[in-house]
Amino acid sequence: MIVKKYFIAIFVLAGLLFDLSSQKIIHSVRLIFFDVGQGDSALIFLPDGRKILVDGGPDDQVLIGLGKYLNFFDRKIDLLILSHEHDDHSLGLIQVIRRYRVARIISATSFCDSHACESLFVATKSHNIPSEVLMDYQKIIFGPNCNLELFPPSNPGDKNINNRSLALRLVCGGAKVFLAGDGEKDEELGLLSLGGDLSATVFKASHHGSDTSNSENFIKAINPQLIIISVGAGNSFKHPSLSVLARFSSLGIRFFRTDINGNISLNFLGTSYPQISIDKE
């Protein structure tokens, strides 16, 4: 029995040491766009090892992604961002909050139109997680040349929940990535009217590649070289739109799709264009 306990202790200690060492060797920006079906979820690794989870997809599939790309002993999410309250972005976050130590949550809304969203905020309160509703533009500085810009919806009371999406732009270690939730053309116009720099090498297509979003002027303002489309195979919405795919192609922009490519991992090794790897099970 003593020998058994000894080996268990050695195993746990080795795991903890591996976890600590793995955090020390993270020097690049890495993003994983999870294949969560018809929904959105992306995990961001910053150079210092901090982690940001943006949305959680429509079910528990996000837990499989987190389990695959995080060390077994790494149970912390430093920042969780909910772009808007639709179930295909919010539902998976309930189990994330229950199973991981979430340090902080930022969302674009303080009210909910769904049971899933209400359950998410109940879980947030029960786990005493600091939560903030984004009302104004905010820049979070993580270190030298590493920041996250958060853009609140231009009309937070819009009856169209998609247009209540927050958008974010990560500029860090050579990486420039723009994620716009499900914001449609009215919200894209709102972002363009700000007159600021929206440029990014990588763009996560708005609203799963819908033709209600991804307007040509908006895409040109971002000027991406690579687009990621988070979308479910054979979905009833017929996302992504063929016209939007044609638009991306006509602009000479390479794109990947989670329904075809699975989990899509982007690794920025101090460069503006990432190494791309796909994981289709």
227-271 pLDDT per residue, tens: 999 999 999 999 999 999 999 999 999 999 999 999 999 999 988
Confidence at residue 24, expressed as pLDDT on a 0 to 100 scale = 44
Q: Give the pLDDT confidence score for residue 111 in this predicted structure.
A: 66
Q: Radius of gyration (Cα) for the chain, nearest Å?
A: 19
Domain boundaries, the chain: 27-279
Name the burial class of residue 247, with classes exposed (0-12), middle (13-18) and buried (19+) by CB atoms within 10 angstroms of its CB: middle
In three-state secondary structure terms, 278 is strand
* CATH code for the domain defined by 27-279: 3.60.15.10
- List of the chain residues with pLDDT < 70: 1-26, 110-111, 281
Cα 41 to Cα 24, 91, 228, distances in angstroms = 25, 11, 12
